Amino acid sequence: METLRTASALRAFADGERAAGRRLALVPTMGALHAGHLALIAEARRRADRVVVSIFVNPTQFAPHEDLASYPRDLAGDLEKCRAAGADAVFAPEPAELYPAGAQTWVEVGELSKPLCGASRPHFFRGVATVVAKLLIAARPHVAVFGEKDYQQLLVVRRLARDLLLDVEVVGVPLVRDADGLALSSRHAYLDVGARREASVLPRALDAAEAAVRAGERSGAALLECVRKEIGRAPSAEVDYAELRDAETLAPVESLRGPAVLALAVRFPVARGSVRLIDNRILRCEESPR
């Protein structure tokens, strides 16, 4: 497995693979790899001949008050996990490599970036879109693999690739859950035992909404009330958002008629202040309403 530190080295690797007629996959990550990331690498291996994993804690998607400095980092451990998972190369640049002195070019995706995480973190998707565009341009993959836990991000990246005419297939992989149902996240490193216990309300809230849909409920307001009631069982939970949105456009859904994403972002107190966790579930109403 090669470790690449510069964009020119990444381009040379990609050019060599393409010249040899091999299909190339890119798995962008911010490191602190867990089983969810390994599922992305496995899917990339299934879809391509060569797999590149990028490990880069992107500074431009963090606001000044957010956890850039303390974000979990373990490059040595991540490299070993990538090697064991069958990655062929890891791109692990320094920030100056992707944001050279004087950089002033940004990529912004309009409407899809505005709701949900974009409403509470207005800086976030400009940073995500910019760094993903840079990675896709440098790596020239045939396929790029992202997790569906970051559902809005997946839609933003798909829109970016279409709008910028990037010749890449953007693939989403279902999120991976821990034994208690919590969607795996690198930020779980912040959770103490109490916060971890309270955070388990997230999958329970999603389960409650899905059960209500199976029972015939179609009202968006009623489903969200069900979700908030369940989250309210965790005394310290602070809801950032709990919304029902169209699964493709992210337009608000008042009545469930087609696939909709139930998206949650909730904060839990921890020693360092608070940790914000996200989760989601696609709700479908194939059954006839009651």
- Which residues are tagged catalytic? 37
How far is it, in rounded angstroms, from Cα 264 to Cα 178? 17
How far is it, in rounded angstroms, from Cα 24 to Cα 88? 10
CA nearest neighbour of 130 among 153, 112, 105: 105
How far is it, in rounded angstroms, from Cα 174 to Cα 148? 5
- Looking at residue 112, the DSSP 8-state letter turns out to be G
How far is it, in rounded angstroms, from Cα 160 to Cα 162? 5
Q: What angle do helix axes 124-139 and 151-163 make, rounded to 10 degrees?
A: 50
How far is it, in rounded angstroms, from Cα 71 to Cα 186? 8
Sign of CA dihedral 28, 106, 72, 267: negative
Q: Do residues 164 and 137 make contact, with C-beta atoms less than 8 angstroms apart?
A: no
Residue 113 tokens read as 């970036």
Which amino acid makes up residue 107?
Answer: V
Q: Do residues 187 and 275 make contact, with C-beta atoms less than 8 angstroms apart?
A: yes
Backbone angles phi, psi at 78, to 5 degrees: -65, -40
End-to-end CA separation in angstroms for the chain: 56
Instruction: Compute the chain's Rg from CA coordinates.
Output: 19
